[in-house]
């Protein structure tokens, strides 16, 4: 009889707790945060062993930017249920925002201990390791994300950048190309990253000859061109322009120097001057695919889709295998088509 009475009381408390919980959600959605907290506290009082109630309180406080009390609420949920992955995950987010990166990783490790295929937690660990300057250690976590979710865009992007920085350009290009295939909105980002890969490959080849870049760069013709190219790679566009123009005094018809001159002008936001340079190159060398590509990029950056498309299509007619050109053309045509539908 006593046992039955206790059971009935527990059921009644559980019913009251659920009602308070639902009221708390309603109040919170209405923006009545104080009442929401009052109701969730009543739910916890009636059912103190329900971790979801504590974690819901944590969400309320988190969104209200009461971080210390949000942490306490999530920790209370974990005290009741040590494997409560929702609370561990959200605690990780808070710790990451507070720059407590090791603690954030520990919380997400607790998640994957229970749910080993939780790609959000695995991805967050990889990002956290990169923030600690441990990009190499982050690689297995990104690869695990892709193993579970092959179309994970951000994992491909981050792996591409890490491999590029590690000097593994084949893997870098693979992941960047997968990124482009998965999401065409990354087309310009991928194009820029692949260019960086190719530029760094160039630098690596120079270093393979056991010559430091500083030794290669001297005030003679060939080294002026090297200096201009390195300056473009490093984003020192003023220096690149100066070196390219010095070299052009020696060799005024050199296509490579003129291309670097145009790139430097573009980097300095002197788009009209850059366009003039690239167009003069095409007058002298009508099949110069690099000039066509740079013109397409400049016009694309300026938002002139029609002119960008014109030069990308010219490039394709000369070299149908040129990297990125097909994707660029498809993306621009899609944007133009959508713009036409909107009109």
d(CA 113, CA 107): 10
Segment 183-203, tens digit of pLDDT: 888 788 788 887 877 777 777
Contact 267, 235 (CB under 8 A): yes
Q: Across the chain, what does the average pLDDT equal?
A: 85
Segment 287-336, tens digit of pLDDT: 898 888 889 888 988 889 899 899 889 988 888 777 677 777 888 888 88
User: What average pLDDT does this structure show over 212-216?
Assistant: 45
331: left (phi over 0), alpha (psi -120 to 50) or beta: alpha
Where in the sequence of the chain do the CATH 1.25.40.10 domains occur? 286-343
Confidence at residue 3, expressed as pLDDT on a 0 to 100 scale: 42
* Across 223-232, 271-280, 312-321, least confident range: 223-232
Instruction: Give the rounded percent of residues in the chain with a pLDDT score beyond 90.
Output: 46
Confidence at residue 300, expressed as pLDDT on a 0 to 100 scale: 86
Confidence at residue 336, expressed as pLDDT on a 0 to 100 scale: 84
Third-level CATH fold of 286-343: 1.25.40
Confidence at residue 342, expressed as pLDDT on a 0 to 100 scale: 54
d(CA 270, CA 277): 11
Quote the radius of gyration of the chain (alpha carbons, Å): 29
d(CA 121, CA 109): 8
Confidence at residue 177, expressed as pLDDT on a 0 to 100 scale: 86
Residue 216 has pLDDT above 50, yes or no: no
Confidence at residue 281, expressed as pLDDT on a 0 to 100 scale: 92
Confidence at residue 15, expressed as pLDDT on a 0 to 100 scale: 76
pTM: 0.59
Q: Comparing 296 with 140, which gets the higher pLDDT?
A: 140
Q: What are phi and psi of 99, to 5 degrees?
A: 65, 25
b/e code 146-167 from CB counts within 10 Å (16+ = b): beeeeebeebbbbbbbbbbeee
b/e code 75-105 from CB counts within 10 Å (16+ = b): ebbbebbeebbbbbbbbbbbbbeeeebeebb
């Amino acid at each position: 009889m006593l046992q039955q009475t206790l059971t009935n009381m527990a059921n009644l408390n559980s019913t009251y707790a659920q009602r308070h919980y639902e009221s708390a959600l309603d109040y919170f959605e209405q923006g009545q945060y104080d009442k929401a907290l009052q109701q969730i506290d009543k739910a916890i009082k009636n059912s103190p062993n329900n971790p979801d109630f504590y974690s819901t309180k944590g969400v309320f406080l988190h969104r209200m930017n009461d971080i210390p009390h949000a942490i306490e609420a999530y920790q209370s949920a974990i005290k009741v249920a040590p494997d409560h992955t929702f609370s561990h995950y959200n605690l990780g987010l808070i710790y990451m925002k507070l720059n407590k990166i090791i603690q954030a990783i520990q919380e997400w490790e607790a998640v994957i201990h229970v749910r080993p295929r939780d790609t959000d937690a695995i991805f967050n660990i990889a990002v956290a390791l990169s923030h600690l300057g441990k990009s190499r250690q982050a690689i297995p976590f990104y690869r695990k994300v892709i193993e579970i979710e092959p179309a994970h865009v951000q994992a491909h992007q981050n792996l591409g950048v890490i491999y590029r920085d590690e000097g593994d350009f084949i893997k870098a290009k693979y992941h960047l190309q997968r990124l482009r295939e998965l999401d065409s909105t990354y087309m310009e980002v991928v194009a820029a990253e692949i260019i960086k890969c190719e530029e760094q490959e160039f630098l690596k080849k120079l270093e393979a000859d056991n010559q430091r870049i500083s030794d290669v760069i001297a005030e003679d013709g060939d080294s002026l061109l090297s200096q201009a190219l390195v300056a473009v790679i490093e984003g020192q566009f003023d220096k690149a322009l100066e070196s390219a123009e010095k070299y052009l005094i020696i060799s005024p018809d050199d296509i490579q120097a003129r291309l670097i001159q145009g790139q430097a002008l573009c980097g300095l936001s002197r788009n009209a001057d850059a366009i003039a340079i690239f167009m003069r190159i095409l007058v002298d060398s009508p099949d110069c695919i690099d000039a066509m590509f740079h013109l397409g990029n400049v016009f694309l950056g300026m938002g002139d889709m029609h002119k960008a498309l014109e030069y990308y299509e010219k490039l394709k007619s000369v070299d149908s295998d040129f990297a990125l050109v097909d994707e660029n053309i498809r993306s621009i045509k899609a944007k133009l088509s959508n713009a036409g539908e909107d009109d």
